[in-house]
Each structure stands twice: as C-alpha cells, then as structure tokens.
Amino acid sequence: MKKKKIILLLFIMLTFVFPLFSTTSLANPTSLTTYSPHCILMEASTGKIIYEKDSHAKVPPASTTKIMTAILTLENCSLTETATVSHNAIYSVPLTYTHAYLVEGEILTIEQLLHILLIPSANDAANVLAEHIAGSVESFATMMNTKALELGMQDTNFVNPNGVQNENHYSSAYDLALLGRYAMQNEIFRKIVTTKEYTLPATNKYPTADRYFSTTNELIIPDDRNSVDNYYYPYATGIKTGYTNPAKNCIVASSKKEDIEYIVVILGADKTENGLSGRYLDCINLFNYAFENYTTKNLDLIVKDKITLLLKQDTNLSSLTPNIEITSELVAPIAKNTVVGTITYNIDGNVYTSDLLAGTDVMESNAFTTFLTIFSIVIVLFLLYRLLNLNQKKRKKYKKSRKKANHNKDNYLYW
C-alpha cells in the first residue's frame, strides 16, 4: 500500500496541477458573547459550525418555518402555475398573525405567492401553497417533515406551513441552519429573500394593485438615519425573520463577502437592556466575527471536486496529511480525467474527500518514452527522498530541542 501511495503521488507530480483546493482558517471564538439563548454561526459551503449556543434545543421557530414551505414549493411547482385561495387558507390564520389580504377564490401565480410568503411573511399565502401542493395543510406538513429528515434535521417537527404557534411545531437553531444553507443553493429563493419590497398586481378578485409589502428583515434595508437602531448590514443576503409571543424574535440570516458565505440562526431573542434588538445585534456581531477572523488559502492538487477545509488560525498547512488510496491500476493507457484514486482529510472529526483525476492522457509508451519516464521518476524519487529526509531531520532536531528545554525547565522547578 505504501508503494502504491508513492506511485500515485508521483503520478500527481508528473501531471498538470491545478489550484482547486481552498481552506479557511478559524480564530478562537471564546471572546464571542450573544444576547440570545439559541444561536449558531455556520460556514455555508462546508456546514462547519464556528459558534453555537444551545443550538439543539427544540423551540418554536415562528415564521422561519416558511423557508421549508418555499423550498417545497420551488421543488414541486413552476413559477407560472396558479393556485386558488380557499376559505380555510384565510380564516384558519389567527387575526393577530400577518395576512396578505388575500380574497377567497382569488387566483395567484406561484411566483406571486412566494414573494408574499417570504417578503412580508404572509401566513395565508403559506396555507394556499400547502393546499395547492399537497391538498391539505396536514398532508403538506408530512412532506415538510420528510424533507427535514432528508436534510438531517433531527430536532424538528412541523405541523403547519407558516409557523403559527403549536406546541408540536418546533425546530432548533442547528436544524434551521441546515435548512437555510440548503435553501440558499436555490437561485430563485436567493433572489426573493433579498427583495426589499413587493406589490401584488390586480387579480380576478382584487381589482387594484394597492397591496404593497416591505421585507421584515432589517438587515437588508438601507437606512440613512445612522441611528443606534439601524441594523442594515451591507453583506446581508437574506433570509427570513419570525416572531410569536412564545418564540420571541427569530431569524435565519445569511451574509456573503467575496467568496465566503455564512449562515446565522437566532432563536428566542429579546430586546437588550437599552431597548435594542438582540436578534439583529447578534447577527451583526457573529457575521463581523466571521469576516474578521477567516481567510482563504490555496493548495495544489488534481481533484474532481473542490474541497473546502475549515481550520484553526494557527494550523500549519504543511502539517496536513491526507490519506491517499488507489482505486484503479495505473497502467497505460489512462485517459485524462480518469479517476485514479481518492484523497481524504480527517480534521476535527470532519471528513473531506474527493476523487483524484488523471491530469493528462497517458499513452502506452515506446522504449525512448519509457526511458524518459523512468528518468523523470528517478529524479522525482530523489527529490522526494531529500524532502522527506529533510523533514525527518527537522522533526528530530525539534524533538531534541523540546526535550532539552523540558529538562532545563524541570531542573529549574525542582532545584
């Protein structure tokens, strides 16, 4: 196996190498403080958790529930489909909850319903979509729970499509981060959750276009007042707020700067002592922490899929040791992009893996080509030997110096 690993490494070194490997370094989050009882900060591309506080507690999610409703709608409907507003869709929503002033018998497109579902958080729109897709709210809740399990949401149970309070309707910060991360992979969803305002057009039952709605997410609303309660965050990209008396203030938020995106979930937030929003202050604090303490670095490998690693800030990239396995014999001819093995990193309990590919076509060689290949391999083997030998000497020297330092320290302590 060691021989095979060396051959595969040589194969990689003798072919074209492309920078397809990125890592992100992480600082120690011990200095972070949050107002809210349930929080999580997750890096979107890997799902790596950077910070969390009681993130698996099962609590009311309020209208963050609508993220799941939107995703199931996008995965089961076209935007141009139409749905008819039923009596139940309107009147099953308590009067104190947000409505979009829909009219029984009104016909709207799926695109229109998604906008009023996610921008002003219309609970009646959620019911219309649920009934259109599954025939009933109850059947749609079954679909929601099935999808939740597919996404790994183990702390969640949905009984309605909108988050109207029910003791059997709950989720967790961790689960909602998984949901938000998944939802933001849908470009239509991404576009809607960054929309600041929307007006419903006239319909068959509502003759005027005066139903105007603004987003409930203050992170994406520019505010020129420059006041202490201005929560606009320039890198915010969504996603969905929520509020009920039992759930308090909730949000699944996202933010992207350059090529890094983060998901933050805040549940059960209250006002701070000076009357500010703990929900938004926690979001801004966590996003700022992430952007200020992360950086990306590139390594060179021929891999099928880009692998993103999240590492502590003081991690030495050269100390990372992958496990390389050959999955096919390296016998010419080998076509370019043929899978020749796998590379795996196991870091902090997280496994990152990808297929290794042939960088060029490798043809059956004649005698002269064989000579050149063998000569090249000998040169590379010599360089590899020198490199390994040098690293080994450095390690021995380091261990020796550490041993000497510890010996002197012991003499000092016990002298």
In this structure, the answer to whether residues 339 and 371 fall within a common structural domain is: no
In this structure, the answer to whether residues 52 and 95 fall within a common structural domain is: yes
In this structure, the answer to whether residues 201 and 88 fall within a common structural domain is: yes
pLDDT computed for residue 14 by the predictor: 41
In this structure, the answer to whether residues 248 and 165 fall within a common structural domain is: yes
- Residue ending a domain, among 357, 378, 397, is 357
In this structure, the answer to whether residues 17 and 139 fall within a common structural domain is: no
CA distances from 188 to 134, 191, 382 (A): 21, 5, 54
- 38-43, strands of its sheet edge to edge: 49-53, 38-43, 260-269, 248-257, 236-244
Q: Which residue range is the domain that position 323 belongs to?
A: 2-23+296-357
The pLDDT profile of the chain, 415 residues, written as one tens digit per residue, is 444 444 445 444 444 333 333 344 444 466 788 999 999 999 998 898 999 999 999 999 999 999 999 999 999 999 999 999 999 999 999 999 999 999 999 999 999 999 999 999 999 999 999 999 999 999 999 999 999 999 999 999 999 999 999 999 999 999 999 999 999 999 999 999 999 999 999 999 999 999 999 999 999 999 876 677 899 999 999 999 999 999 999 999 999 998 899 999 999 999 999 999 999 999 999 999 999 887 655 454 466 666 666 665 556 666 667 777 766 555 566 677 777 777 777 766 667 777 777 666 666 545 445 554 555 555 555 555 555 565 555 555 555 665 555 554 444 333 3
pLDDT computed for residue 341 by the predictor: 76
pLDDT computed for residue 326 by the predictor: 65
In this structure, the answer to whether residues 222 and 325 fall within a common structural domain is: no
- Split into its structural domains, the chain has a count of 3
Phi and psi at 320, nearest 5°, equal: -70, 125
Closest CA to 15 of 414, 404, 386, 359: 359
Q: Do 74 and 186 contact (CB within 8 A), yes or no?
A: yes
Separation of alpha carbons 130 and 140, rounded Å: 5
pLDDT computed for residue 127 by the predictor: 98
In this structure, the answer to whether residues 72 and 195 fall within a common structural domain is: yes
Separation of alpha carbons 264 and 201, rounded Å: 33
In this structure, the answer to whether residues 351 and 320 fall within a common structural domain is: yes
In this structure, the answer to whether residues 37 and 86 fall within a common structural domain is: yes
In this structure, the answer to whether residues 310 and 171 fall within a common structural domain is: no
Separation of alpha carbons 40 and 49, rounded Å: 7
CATH number at residue 266: 3.40.710.10
In this structure, the answer to whether residues 157 and 197 fall within a common structural domain is: yes
Separation of alpha carbons 249 and 104, rounded Å: 31
Q: Which residues pair with 26 in a beta bridge?
A: 312
Separation of alpha carbons 142 and 164, rounded Å: 16
Separation of alpha carbons 254 and 176, rounded Å: 12
pTM: 0.73
pLDDT computed for residue 345 by the predictor: 72
Separation of alpha carbons 246 and 165, rounded Å: 8
In this structure, the answer to whether residues 235 and 373 fall within a common structural domain is: no
- Residue ending a domain, among 293, 317, 342, is 293
